[in-house]
Amino acid sequence: MLIIKILLVILAVLIVGSIMLQQGKGSDLGSAFGGGSSDSLFGPLGPSNFLSKLTWILISAFFVLCLLLAYIGKQELTLDVDEKEKMEQNKDPEPQ
């Protein structure tokens, strides 16, 4: 479960970074990094498609990992409750 939590933090940082680098409709943070110029790394229209696809992939992975973490947490909680019930049954034998 710790690995999933670490991956979620890394994905969250990557999602924020990919959103901040996208070029908006006006002059925004994406333009400040050279997203608005034609001699940028991805070309004049390149980063919008690449970064938006990357953002959707990162968000999808984040969502799946959140669901997986919730499922694993529920399973562990159910196992803990079942183990406690078994221990209580073994502790207190029924009077005859």
* Domain ranges, residue 16: 2-91
Do the Cβ atoms of 68 and 42 come closer than 8 Å?
A: no
Span 17-34, average pLDDT: 68
In a domain, residue 30? The reply is yes
Q: What is the pLDDT, as a whole number, of residue 45?
A: 54
In a domain, residue 55? The reply is yes
In a domain, residue 64? The reply is yes
* Overall pTM > 0.85: no
Number of domains in the chain: 1
Local confidence band at 49 (pLDDT 50, 70, 90 cut-offs):
confident
In a domain, residue 81? The reply is yes
In a domain, residue 96? The reply is no
In a domain, residue 20? The reply is yes
Reading phi first (left if > 0) and then psi (alpha if -120 to 50, else beta), residue 34 is in left
In a domain, residue 57? The reply is yes
Span 68-92, average pLDDT: 80
In a domain, residue 28? The reply is yes
